[in-house]
Amino acid sequence: MTKEFEESMRSALLVRQSFLDLRDNFRRIVDPPLWSFDGKGPKPKRQIVLDGPVSCGKSIALSMLVQWAREQGWLVFYIAKGKEWTHGGFFYKNPQTGLWDTPVQAAKILQDFLKFNESRLQQIPCQIFDPIPLGEGAGVGWMKGVDSMAMPEGSTLYDLVQTGLTYTHAAVGVVVRLRKELSLVKDIPVLIAIDQYNSWFTFSEYGEPITARSWRPIHARELATVSAFRSMMHNDMMVGAFSHSTAVGKLRKDLPDVPLDARTNLPRYSLDEAATVCHYYLRQRLIRREAFSEEKWKKIYYLSNGNGAEMRWLVSFIQ
C-alpha cells in the first residue's frame, strides 16, 4: 500500500465492493437496525478470515476496515505484521504455563496498541483484578521472590497496558490479560484485526534443544501471545487476513480454532475495476495520454490476471 502511494504520488485507494461487503458485515453486527427486515440478506459473521490469490487486496481491505472502524470510534486491536509475533527477540519457556514467552514482542504489541487507542483506553475500566503472572524479563532474568503483580481497584485498560510497558516481567502476562479484557468491553465496539494471520498456523522461528545436536521447532500456537489471540471460537468481532508474502504455504481449509464458515475469498480486480485503476493512473500521469488506449489497458489486465501489483508494474511500460 505504501508503494502504491509512492508511485501514484497520492494517498488514495480503490474502494472495492469486496471492502464494502466486509465493512457492512461488521456494521450490521454493531447496528442491527441496518439489517434487512425480510430476513433474506446474508447473516453477518463475527469472525472472518480473508483469503484469496496473491495481490488480490487482502491486506489493503483489512487496513481500510481498521481505518473505518477507528473513525467510527471503535476500539481496534490491529496487528499489521502477525509474523513478527513468531520471529526474533528473546524467548523462553514459562514453567508456570508451559507456553513460550516472548517479552520483547509483547512490549511492541502493547506500544502499538497504546499508540492508536490511548485516550480510549483511559476511559475503559479493567474488569479482571486477578494478579498478573510475572515471567522472565528481557535481558534481566526473573524477579526475586515475586511471581505476580496486582492491578489495583479502579484501574483502566490504559493502566494495564502501562504496567506491561513499565515492567518487562509483566509484558507477556499483560498481553494475555488484555485479550480477556477486550472480550468484556461492552460500552463500545471492539474489533480484533490480524494481518499475516496464516503465520500463526505454522512453526515459529524458535526452537527447543532436545539433545546436544538436535532441536525441535516451536509451533506458533505454543507461544503465549499467539495462543491468547489466535482462536476465533468466541463471540468477539475478529478478522484475520492471510498473506502470501510470509511464505507459509497452503493451509488446510478447516483450521483449528476457526469456524468452518469464516474463510472468505477475495477476488482480484474485475475488468471494470481494472478500467478504473488504469484511468486513475492516467490522471496521475503514470501513463502518457497519447500512449494510452482501451486495447492496451485490457492487455495489461489479461497479462496480469487482475493482479494489482503486476498491473502497476506493467503500466510503467506504456510510454
pLDDT digits (tens, 9 = 90+) for 9-49: 778 888 889 999 999 999 999 987 645 545 566 789 999 99
**pLDDT-above-90 percentage for the chain:** 62
Question: How far is residue 189's CA from residue 191's CA, in Å, rounded to a whole number?
Answer: 7
Q: How confident is the model at residue 191 (pLDDT cuts 50, 70, 90)?
A: very high
The whole domain housing 288 covers: 271-316
Domain co-membership, 247 together with 312: no
Average pLDDT, the chain: 89
Q: Which residue has the higher pLDDT, 114 or 245?
A: 114
Q: Is 159 part of any domain?
A: yes
* Mean pLDDT on 93-115: 95
Question: How far is residue 200's CA from residue 202's CA, in Å, rounded to a whole number?
Answer: 6
Whether the predicted model's global pTM rises above the 0.85 cut: yes
Domain co-membership, 300 together with 237: no
Domain co-membership, 118 together with 183: yes
Q: Is 6 part of any domain?
A: no
- Residue found under cell 528481557: 138
Check: CB of residue 176 under 8 Å from CB of residue 230. no
Q: How many domains does the chain have?
A: 2
**In the predicted structure, residue 139 carries a pLDDT above the cut 90:** no
Amino acid at position 126, single letter:
C
Q: How confident is the model at residue 138 (pLDDT cuts 50, 70, 90)?
A: confident
Distances (CA, A) of 192 to 9, 87, 105, 241, 292: 31, 21, 18, 11, 43
Domain co-membership, 238 together with 287: no
Q: Estimate the crossing angle of helix 308-315 against helix 271-283, to 10 degrees.
A: 40
Q: Which of 265, 280, 303 is the last residue of a domain?
A: 265
Q: Is 258 part of any domain?
A: yes
Domain co-membership, 151 together with 51: yes
Which of 217, 300, 290, 222 lies closest to 256, judged by CA? 222
Please report the pLDDT score of residue 34 as a whole number. Answer: 47
Q: Is 83 part of any domain?
A: yes
Q: Is 179 part of any domain?
A: yes
Q: Is 2 part of any domain?
A: no
For the stretch 115-128, pLDDT in tens is: 999 999 999 999 99
Dihedral of CA atoms 140, 145, 147, 153 in degrees, nearest 10, equals -110
Q: Is 35 part of any domain?
A: no
Q: Is 149 part of any domain?
A: yes
Domain co-membership, 149 together with 279: no
Question: How far is residue 96's CA from residue 99's CA, in Å, rounded to a whole number?
Answer: 8
Question: How far is residue 221's CA from residue 230's CA, in Å, rounded to a whole number?
Answer: 8
Please report the pLDDT score of residue 78 as a whole number. Answer: 98
Q: Residue 139, class by beta-carbon neighbours within 10 Å (0-12 exposed, 13-18 middle, 19+ buried)?
A: exposed
Please report the pLDDT score of residue 294 as a whole number. Answer: 78
Domain co-membership, 23 together with 113: yes
Instruction: Give the torsion sign (CA, 12, 18, 24, 25).
Output: negative
**In the predicted structure, residue 54 carries a pLDDT above the cut 70:** yes
Q: Which residue has the higher pLDDT, 176 or 304?
A: 176
